[in-house]
């Protein structure tokens, strides 16, 4: 084993693995979505888009992401700033903030179900405070917007931690001298945040936004736990077509739609938040 061939030997297992379980399946999906009996077709996309559920599903997913991700960024920035200011109990509070990072979306859905279900804690509190007389059925189809709000809260609760972790590690890379310099030149705390922290944090913000937006397009278990099929989302419909409707081609078309919006979002963030060459620490 010399140092010419060794790196390739070490990379071989991972490369083979990614080829078999990542590249190949996606070619399969594309093939399934665009062919019928061996010939090219757009028929599956037409079936998909022609179904009355497609557009509500599509917009539900997009709107959820559009609300959740920006809120998460603001919350995570706040948490990261709070952590940066802490001296006492910093590690404990940091740990508490990162707890949801390890939880599955299904668990998060079930946790918020405990709050929002008809005999749940929210109703208990509202009745206890005398705001309402009888418990409300929050998660029924009549109250679609409540399901929406519940999903948003559950997603905010579960997945803000990852944004915060990325931002906190990004802030750790910003030398303290920049803040001191800004202070010497008369910048207040808010100005320091806007003029120093945010621009220097740009690469971390970019990573966090890409990661979170893609994950938001994949929202699934939270929605199922809180609303069953009342609030359809793209991954849920993919699942539905694969199993309930037994049409793998349309499911593949759905998968490609999710892939397309994921790549589009990635490109937008790469372009919007690009760091000029040579402007890094």
Partner 1 sequence: MSAAAADRPRAVSDIGAAGKFLFWAGVVLLCAWVLVPIYLLVVNTLSSTAEVTAFPKTGIPSFDLGSIQFFLSFQGVLKALWNSLLVAVLTMVLSIAIGAPAGYALSRFEFPGKATFRMLVLMTRAFPLPLLALPIAVMFIRVGLDDTPVGLALVHTTLAIPFSVLITFSIFSGIPLELEEAAWTLGCNRLQAFGKVVLPLVLPGITASAIFAFTISWNEVFAASVLTVQNRTLTAFLLQSLSVSPLHLRFAGGAALVIPALIFIFAVRKYMFAMWGIANR
- Which among 163, 157, 159 is positioned nearest to 73, based on CA atoms? 163
Question: In whole angstroms, how close is the CB of 177 to partner 1 at the nearest point?
Answer: 19
Binding part of the chain for partner 1, among 59-67, 142-150, 190-198, 202-210 by CB under 8 A, reads 202-210
What is the torsional sign of CA 228, 230, 235, 241? positive
Determine the 3-state secondary structure of 39 from DSSP.
strand
Q: Does 76 bind partner 1 (CB under 8 A)?
A: no
> Quick one: 56 or 135, whose CB is closer to partner 1?
135
Determine the 3-state secondary structure of 35 from DSSP.
strand
Which residues inside 51-70 make contact with partner 1, applying CB under 8 A?
none
Distance from C-alpha of 241 to C-alpha of 33, rounded to nearest angstrom: 13
Q: Does 231 bind partner 1 (CB under 8 A)?
A: no
Yes or no: say if 118 and 186 are a contact pair by the CB < 8 Å rule.
no
Length of the chain: 281
Yes or no: say if 106 and 191 are a contact pair by the CB < 8 Å rule.
no
Please select the residue that binds partner 1; options are 173, 244, 245, 268, rule is CB under 8 A.
173
Q: Does 14 bind partner 1 (CB under 8 A)?
A: yes
Q: Does 85 bind partner 1 (CB under 8 A)?
A: yes
230 exposure class (CB count in 10 Å sphere: 0-12, 13-18, 19+): middle
Q: Does 10 bind partner 1 (CB under 8 A)?
A: yes
> Quick one: 25 or 70, whose CB is closer to partner 1?
25
Mask: binding to partner 1, 122-141, rule CB under 8 A, as x and -?
Answer: -xx--xx------x------
Q: Does 266 bind partner 1 (CB under 8 A)?
A: yes
Q: Does 74 bind partner 1 (CB under 8 A)?
A: no
Report how many residues bind partner 1 under the rule CB under 8 A.
94
Quote the distance between the C-alpha of residue 37 and its chain's center: 36
> Quick one: 113 or 149, whose CB is closer to partner 1?
113
Yes or no: say if 225 and 110 are a contact pair by the CB < 8 Å rule.
yes
Binding part of the chain for partner 1, among 63-71, 80-88, 142-150, 271-279 by CB under 8 A, reads 80-88
């Amino acid at each position: 084993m010399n140092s010419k061939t060794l790196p390739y030997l070490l990379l071989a297992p991972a490369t083979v693995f990614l080829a078999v379980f990542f590249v190949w399946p996606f070619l399969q999906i594309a093939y399934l979505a665009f062919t019928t009996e061996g010939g090219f077709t757009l028929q599956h996309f037409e079936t998909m888009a022609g179904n009355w559920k497609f557009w509500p599903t599509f917009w539900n997913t997009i709107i959820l992401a559009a609300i959740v991700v920006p809120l998460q960024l603001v919350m995570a920035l706040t948490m990261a700033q709070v952590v940066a200011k802490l001296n006492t109990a910093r590690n404990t509070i940091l740990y508490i903030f990162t707890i949801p990072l390890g939880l599955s979306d299904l668990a998060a859905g079930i946790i918020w179900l405990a709050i929002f279900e008809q005999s749940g804690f929210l109703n208990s509190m509202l009745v206890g405070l005398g705001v309402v007389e009888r418990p409300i059925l929050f998660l029924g189809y009549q109250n679609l917007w409540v399901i929406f709000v519940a999903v948003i809260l559950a997603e905010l609760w579960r997945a803000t931690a990852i944004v915060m972790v990325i931002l906190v590690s990004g802030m750790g890379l910003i030398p303290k001298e920049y803040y001191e310099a800004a202070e010497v030149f008369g910048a207040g705390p808010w100005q320091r945040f806007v003029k120093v922290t945010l621009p220097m944090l740009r690469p971390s913000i970019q990573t966090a936004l890409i990661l979170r937006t893609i994950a938001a397009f994949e929202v699934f278990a939270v929605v199922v736990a809180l609303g069953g099929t009342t609030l359809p989302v793209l991954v849920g419909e993919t699942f539905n077509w694969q199993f309930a409707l037994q049409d793998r081609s349309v499911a593949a078309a759905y998968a490609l739609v999710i892939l397309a919006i994921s790549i589009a979002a990635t490109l937008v963030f790469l372009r919007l938040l690009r760091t000029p060459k040579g402007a890094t620490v």
